[in-house]
Every structure is written in C-alpha cells, then in structure tokens.
Amino acid sequence: MKKKLSRSGSGWALFMPKTLLELINVNPETDYLKIQVENNIIKISKSEDNPAEN
C-alpha cells in the first residue's frame, strides 16, 4: 500500500483507512498508537499502555 502525506496545520498527516486500523485492532476513539523508528522504518502498533485507562 502506498499513501501520500496530507497537509495538516503546520505539519503533515498520514490518514489511515479503517481497514488498516481494524487489522491492528485499534479503536481510534479510545486507543493510542505506539510509533517507533528503526533504520529509517516507521513501525506503528497499538499501544498496550493507554493513558486514558490509568
């Protein structure tokens, strides 16, 4: 899948389709994402530590 970045305020955004969120079991209204960068690769996963639950 190839995605293009979109302008968002003074930065850039990556819009994620609902299907992609479902594949990693993320509810965008309640869950947080964990984002890691390793060797120029961005890894996005569901965060197991949600601040809203603490």
pLDDT in tens, the chain (54 residues): 899 999 999 999 999 999 999 999 999 999 999 999 999 999 999 998 866 565
At residue 53, the pLDDT reads: 61
Can you list the pairs that 12-20 forms with residues at least 24 positions away whose Cβ atoms lie under 8 Å? Answer: none
At residue 52, the pLDDT reads: 59
Give this prediction's pTM. Answer: 0.71
Compute φ and ψ for 42, nearest 5 degrees.
-90, 125
At residue 31, the pLDDT reads: 93
Torsion of CA 26, 32, 37, 40, to 10 degrees: 50
Query: Which whole-number Å values give the CA distances from 32 to 1, 10, 21, in the listed order?
Result: 22, 22, 11
At residue 1, the pLDDT reads: 84
